[in-house]
Amino acid sequence: MNIQHKLADFVSFFSTDGKPLCTEDFQKYGLQGKFKHYPKNALLMSQGSPAPNLFFITQGDVRYFNVSAEGKEFTQAFASAPCIAGSTRAMTQNTPALFSIEALDDVICLEFEWHTFFHTMKAHPGFLEAYTQLLENLFIKKEEREYAFVHHSAEQRYLNFIDRNPELSERVPLKMVASHIGITPIALSRIRRKLALS
């Protein structure tokens, strides 16, 4: 794997049409990132522990999940490359993470220490514009997810998940999908049987 190619992908991800970034910008600022590999089931960050790094995932899928005091897992979100991952709260406030991020298959990524990265790059208008767009997309997804839990049936939430994640829905365990859409694995099995018969 060529870290320069991965860095170029990251720069492209953070670029906008109006104010594009280039690899030289990162090299000029000394921002290289650490090239990391996480095997399937490994944790990129752990609930309750410091999580100061921003991850740019160039290969693989991850799951955001938290565990209740009773030991029950709740899958908050899935993400697939290319994407960024991390805990905004933990990175910006230096607090322990409220969730874990798990590799669902082999994950290749670049890791940047958030404070160094952000305080270095915030002077570049192109970076700030791209970062704002990323935050907007995250807030939109959060609002849509909250709306779905109130207004959509469990069956509709499952269909929405399949529609938005056609490949991922075939690879992840059903218990993760069930917890993500807020139902039990047994309830999801019933929904799947009903849809297969219809």
Q: Does 21 reside within a domain?
A: yes
Let me know if residue 174 belongs to a domain: no
Cα distance between residue 10 and residue 156, in whole Å: 35
In a domain? residue 59:
yes
The DSSP annotation for 10-42 comes to HHHHT--SSS---HHHHHHHT---EEEEE-TT-
| Domain contains 180 | no
In a domain, 135, yes or no: no
Edge-first strand listing for the sheet containing 34-38: 34-38, 107-113, 53-59, 83-85
Evaluate whether residue 61 is within a structural domain.
yes
CA-based radius of gyration for the chain: 18
Give the model confidence (pLDDT) of 139-178 as tens digits: 998 999 999 999 999 999 999 999 998 888 888 999 999 9
In a domain, 107, yes or no: yes
Structural domains of the chain, count: 1
Range of the domain at 34: 3-126
CATH number of the domain to which 76 belongs: 2.60.120.10
Share of the chain above pLDDT 90, in %: 60
pLDDT at residue 134 in the model:
82
pTM, full prediction? 0.86
**Structural domain includes residue 192:** no
Please tell me the predicted confidence (pLDDT) of residue 131.
Answer: 81
